[in-house]
Amino acid sequence: MQGPLKSLLYVSRCTAPLDDDQIFRLYKTSVENNAIDGITGVLIHDGNVFLQLLEGGDNAVTAMMARLGRDPRHCAIQVRDERVIEQRSFGTWNMKLLKIDRAHMAAVTNLEDDFGPSVAPEIRQLIIDTLHEISSAD
């Protein structure tokens, strides 16, 4: 792995709403590529907005963000958090996929059942706080 291990969380908006099939195709490509790139993480969506947390080597995450920036399926990418980490929270998932309806985003208070004990509490809280922010935007 090149560079320190880091995690990056961003939110973005779908250019056009994606149905479950389109999301699943995107997810399959992501899992395959991420296994090669040493990237793990979680992708949360409601069909209209995305929240993605990427974990991996500094260079791999930077290269992934460049690819994501060119992807016409989403726009308005906002990096919300970037930090060096000691260990991965999502080490067993090359990309965990979680659908949460917009109406439920505000009500999420605990993702422990979805994530299990491997996810660091501060990362879980960061994701919950960001979900609350997205749910109250526009």
Structure tokens at 102: 């917009």
Structure tokens at 51: 């929240």
Residues of the shown chain interacting with ligand FMN in the complex, contacts defined by CB under 6 A:
12, 26, 29-30, 33-34, 43, 50, 52, 64, 67-68, 71, 73-74, 95
Map tokens 């109406």 to a residue.
103
* 92/121 with CB nearer ligand FMN: 92
* 14/111 with CB nearer ligand FMN: 14
Please report how close the Cβ of residue 44 comes to ligand FMN at its closest, in angstroms: 10
CA gap 55, 61 in Å, rounded = 7
Please report how close the Cβ of residue 27 comes to ligand FMN at its closest, in angstroms: 8
* 17/117 with CB nearer ligand FMN: 17
Half-sphere exposure of 32 (CA within 13 A, CB side): 6
Please report how close the Cβ of residue 77 comes to ligand FMN at its closest, in angstroms: 9
Look up residue 48 and give its amino acid.
Answer: N
Give yes or no for a contact between 50 and 126, defined as CB atoms under 8 angstroms apart: no
Q: Which of 93, 98, 89, 112 is nearest to 49 (CA)?
A: 98
Please report how close the Cβ of residue 60 comes to ligand FMN at its closest, in angstroms: 10
* 32/122 with CB nearer ligand FMN: 32
